[in-house]
Structure 1
Amino acid sequence: MHAMTLRLSPGDDLRAALDHAFRTHALSAAYVLQGIGSLSVARLRYAGRDDAAELRGDIEILTLAGTLSAQGPHLHMSIADADGRVVGGHVAPGCIVRTTAELVIAHLPGERYTREHDAATGFAELVIRAS
């Protein structure tokens, strides 16, 4: 395992930046160990829902974790609003960094992650292969 740290700047899209880092560093399998920071826009898809909810304002990232593959990131995040209310869910595109986001990513050079259709779930699920 090889770890690397990213710091995102105001205006960066969280998902897009992680996908860009995965592709730029030519990673085969990686996961987000942790992420903290702030957002001005959070887009989360809650369990059992088809569409993402959009929250705007001063938002703190409390936790961020997930896998990175050639098919894109699969991320879950918990956030708190300015009143301390906490929600969490699947990270959708359009989460915009407010002041900063600090992310620790682990690269697993001996593995390759892909997402493939799983007949049992009906979703594209993680497939782990030796690289």
Structure 2
Amino acid sequence: MQALPLRLNPGDDLRASVVAALAASGHAAGFVLQGIGSLSVAQLRFAGVPHPSELRGDLEILTLAGSISPDGAHLHMTVSDAQGRVMGGHLGAGCIVRTTAELLLALLPGQRFTREHDPLTGYAELKIS
């Protein structure tokens, strides 16, 4: 395993930046071990709901974790709003960094992650090779 720390800047798209970091590293498999920071926009898909909900405002990233492949990422995140309410779910595209995001990626040399349709779940699920 190879560690890759990242710092994202205001205006960066969180999900796109994580996928781009894996591509730039030349690896084909990785995990986000943890992430903290802040967002101005979060896109979270809650359990059993087909589309993400957009949250706007001053949001703190409390946790961020998941797998990354050249096919995309499967990330889960919890955020809190300015009143301390906590929400979490599947991270969608369009999460915009407010001040900073600090992440630790684990790159997995010799591994390849892909996403393939799984008839049992109906979703594109992780395949490890």
Deviation at 1:88, TM superposition (A): 0.2
Cα distance between partner residues in 2 of 1:44 and 1:102: 19
Deviation at 1:122, TM superposition (A): 1.1
- Alignment correspondent of 2:102: 102
Give the structure-2-normalised TM-score.
Answer: 0.98
Deviation at 1:110, TM superposition (A): 2.2
Give the structure-1-normalised TM-score.
Answer: 0.97
The gaps in structure 1 that reach 5 residues or longer are none
- Alignment correspondent of 1:9: 9
Q: Paired residues, what number?
A: 129
User: Residue 28 of structure 1 aligns to which amino acid in structure 2?
Assistant: A
Deviation at 1:27, TM superposition (A): 1.2
Structure 1 stretches of 4+ with a deviation exceeding 3 A read none
Cα distance between partner residues in 2 of 1:86 and 1:35: 16
Deviation at 1:74, TM superposition (A): 0.8
1:36-70 Cα deviation digits (max 9, x unpaired):
00000011000000111111110000000000001
RMSD: 0.6
Q: Percent identity?
A: 63
- Alignment correspondent of 2:18: 18
User: Residue 20 of structure 1 aligns to which amino acid in structure 2?
Assistant: A
Q: Within 5 Å, which residues of 2 pair with 1:1-131?
A: 1-129=1-129
User: Residue 88 of structure 1 aligns to which amino acid in structure 2?
Assistant: G
Deviation at 1:108, TM superposition (A): 0.8
User: Residue 85 of structure 1 aligns to which amino acid in structure 2?
Assistant: R
